[in-house]
A and B are shown apart, each in its own frame.
Chain A
Amino acid sequence: MSESLKSAVVGAALRLLEPLAKLLLEAGVGVGEFHQLAKRAYVNAARDRAQEARPNISRIAVLTGITRVEVASLLAIPAGEEPVAERGRHRAERVLHGWWHDAEFLGRDGKPASLPLRGAKRSFVSLVKRYAGDPRVATLLEELVRVKAVRQRADGQLEVLSRTFVTARWDTQGIGIAGERVHDLLETLVHNLKHPNAPRYERFVVSTEVAPRFVPMLLRDVSEQADVLADSFQDALNDPARSVRPADGPQDARRVGLAIFIVDEPTTVETPASGRKTRTQRPD
């Protein structure tokens, strides 16, 4: 890699680290702890890059600049579990999709019906059986109630509130989800850098000259439009005809998704003496 390219990568890494450092500071994670995390991520990346059955400690040490002893101890740390936020999401998403779209679980007004927990027909148990094929109904319900996608009414009936499982919040789940989102975004961006001939769809639109008084209206419209797009895409992704059904043995499947997010931060439009605006900049 040329020096200029390396310099660009370092610059991009710094930009990436700025919001991460904000989060870590907020969470009380010092730079020493982050340093250890960075070393672990480097070792994992070098191990994955080699694609060998057994990791070669010497090679990883050369690649990362970390001592062999430390590489060995970092590799000995058991691989982290799948993030809690991700666990079971696809089952929950499938159940929510069925609740919003399956005629059997809709009311006369076309909206999702309130369901009793149990019952042979039109109950939460029958919904989960049809869409998740999983006996752990109570766990799934607990998760859906926790993320406020479902609520249990006083009469015991279950009411669906959200079309999606995930809602970002400032708690362990929310932070875990934020990490996953950034991971997904970076994976796609890096994939596109490495495979310019077969890129994944990626688009970024921005204006740095929006008048603040129009921001609420624009954000309202953008959110509504993005919501419609996301719902349409979710319908297509969760179509049972295109999904791998749970079976006895493992089956190949793919994780396919689309992320849409809003960027909103203050900027300044500089006005030179001539009175014509020329450039914009972010305040530090």
Chain B
Amino acid sequence: MPRIAKRKPRTAASRSKELLRTEQKHRQRMAEQLLSVILAFAKDQGLSRAQCRRACQNAQANIDHHRIEPGTGVRFAALLQISDILAVWYRDPAFLDKTGRPRALSLSGTDSFATLARRFLPEFEPSEVASILIAEQLLQRRPNRRVAPKHRAAVFTTLNPMMLERIPVLVKGLVTTFGHNADPAARKSGTRCDQSTHLARLPLQLLPAFNAHVKRLAQVLLDSADSWAQPRLLSPESPAGLPTANVGVEVFSFVDDDTYKPSRKRPRSSR
């Protein structure tokens, strides 16, 4: 009579050890879920099944040829330059009023919007840049053909090509931070910031207030990071050859559309 090996009942101790034992199947599951999230997003953006498949094939080919270069596109560069325009508008005394708020600028002339636009986006016509930023609600029209910024952050209301190029950059930033922190050798030089808070059972009607609150907090965090880094950045006149890195901080709030069900056991909050 064949002996049937009985599986030992799992104890609480063995279950907790399993939480830390990583196997290849866990990594594969992570990759599947990550790709599922990305493909679902691509589908939401109107890509067909065939187009998604082609994107996957191209991505695989890029990996095979070591061509993973999010953030090198011209549109993402333009987005960063628009960020620079807003940053200078909010920081340079020449563009501020007596209360420290950004002045409404005329479209041309000395210390005008054209001055800013030509400094950061010399290849574009300043009036066209202004029109685009007004259409995207980053700028607002003021009397006497002047314009003023509505927000400090260059966040567009539509997923235009600049914003679409931004998404892979952010995802790359996120996963490379995970990779760095999980690599014992890389970790010797210090870990990168990876902090989040997950809160269950926030009434849906409070979402706008929650988002507004997080935006205020994020602006403070980003301003502080800027204030810390600005005096430490190497100037263009610095000697060549000094090793540097592009660094950044991204803050976003998220909403899981899994609505609260009182019968399900969920942690109250986790950080």
Residues of A within 8 A of B216 (CB): 224, 227-228, 231
Are the CB atoms of B206 and A220 closer together than 8 Å? Answer: no
Question: In the complex, are the beta carbons of B206 and A103 less than 8 A apart?
Answer: yes
A137: interface (CB < 8 Å): no
Give 18 pairs: A residue, B residue, CB < 8 Å, sorted on A: A103-B203, A103-B205, A106-B206, A106-B209, A110-B209, A110-B210, A111-B208, A213-B93, A216-B93, A216-B96, A216-B97, A217-B96, A217-B100, A219-B100, A225-B224, A228-B217, A228-B220, A231-B216
Residue of B nearest to A111 (CB): B209
Chain A 88-127 per-residue mask, 1 if CB under 8 angstroms from chain B, else 0: 0000000000000101001011110000000000000000
CA distance A208 to B261 in the complex (A): 57
List B194-209 residues whose CB lies under 8 Å from chain A: 203, 205-209
CB pair B220–A225 under 8 Å, yes or no, is: yes
Give A213's nearest chain B residue, CB to CB: B93
Instruction: Give Cα A220–Cα B91 distance, bound, in whole angstroms.
Output: 10
Chief secondary structure at chain B's binding surface = helix
CB closest residue in chain A, given B210: A110
Interface residues of A in 189-246 (CB under 8 A from B): 213-214, 216-221, 224-225, 227-229, 231-232
A218 → B minimal CB distance (Å): 8
Q: Is B219 an interface residue (CB 8 A)?
A: yes
Residues in chain A near residue B219, CB distance under 8 A: 224, 228
B99 to chain A: closest residue by CB: A216
**Which residues of B sit under 8 angstroms from A221, Cβ to Cβ?**
100, 223, 227
Provide the residues of chain B in CB contact with A220, threshold 8 Å: 99-101
User: Known interface pairs A216-B96, A216-B98, A221-B223. Does A110 touch B208 (Cβ–Cβ under 8 Å)?
Assistant: yes
A232 nearest in chain B by CB position: B217
Residue contact A109 to B208, C-beta cutoff 8 Å = yes
Point out the residues of chain B lying under 8 angstroms from A218, CB to CB.
100
Query: With the chains together, A231 CA to B214 CA distance in Å?
Result: 12
Residue B212 lies at the interface, judged by CB distance under 8 Å to chain A:
yes
Given contacts A103-B206, A216-B96, 16 further A-B contacts (CB under 8 A): A103-B205, A110-B205, A110-B208, A110-B212, A213-B93, A214-B93, A217-B91, A218-B100, A220-B100, A221-B223, A224-B220, A225-B220, A225-B223, A228-B217, A229-B220, A232-B217
The interface residues of chain A lying within 8 Å CB-to-CB of B212 are: 110
- Among residues of A, the one whose C-beta sits closest to the C-beta of B211 is A110
A108 vs B207: C-alpha distance when bound (angstroms): 10
Size of interface on B: residues with Cβ below 8 Å to A: 25
**Partner-A contacts on B (CB < 8 A):** 90-91, 93, 96-101, 203, 205-212, 216-217, 219-220, 223-224, 227
Measured between beta carbons, the chain B residues less than 8 angstroms from A219 are: 100
Given the known interface contacts A225-B223, A225-B224, the answer about A110 and B207 at a Cβ–Cβ threshold of 8 Å is: yes
CB-CB nearest 3 A-B residue pairs: A220-B100, A110-B208, A110-B209
A218 to B101, CA, bound (A): 11
Expressed in whole angstroms, the Cα–Cα distance for A106 and B220 within the complex equals 25
Write out the residue numbers on chain B whose beta carbons fall within 8 Å of the beta carbon of A225. 220, 223-224
A227 to B223 CA separation, bound complex (whole angstroms): 14
Q: B207: which A residues are within 8 A, CB to CB?
A: 110
CA distance A101 to B212 in the complex (A): 13
- Which chain A residue lies CB-closest to B217? A228
**Please, which residues of chain B bring their CB within 8 A of the CB of A108?**
205
CB distance from B210 to the nearest CB of A (A): 7
List residues of chain B with CB within 8 A of the CB of A109.
Answer: 208
Known contacts: A109-B208, A224-B219, A225-B220. The answer to whether A217 contacts B203 by CB under 8 A is: no
Inter-chain CA distance A231–B216, complex, in Å, is 10
Residues of A within 8 A of B203 (CB): 103
Nearest B residue to A235, CB-CB: B213
Give the docked Cα–Cα distance between A109 and B205 (Å): 7
Bound Cα distance from A26 to B227, whole angstroms? 39
A103 to B207, CA, bound (A): 10
Contacts of B210 in A (CB 8 A): 110
* Chain B hits for A228, CB < 8 A: 216-217, 219-220
A216 to B102, CA, bound (A): 11
Residues from chain A with a CB closer than 8 A to the CB of B223 are 221, 224-225
How many Å lie between the Cα of A207 and that of B90 in the bound state? 21
Q: Which of A109, A221, A227 has the most CB of B within 10 A?
A: A221
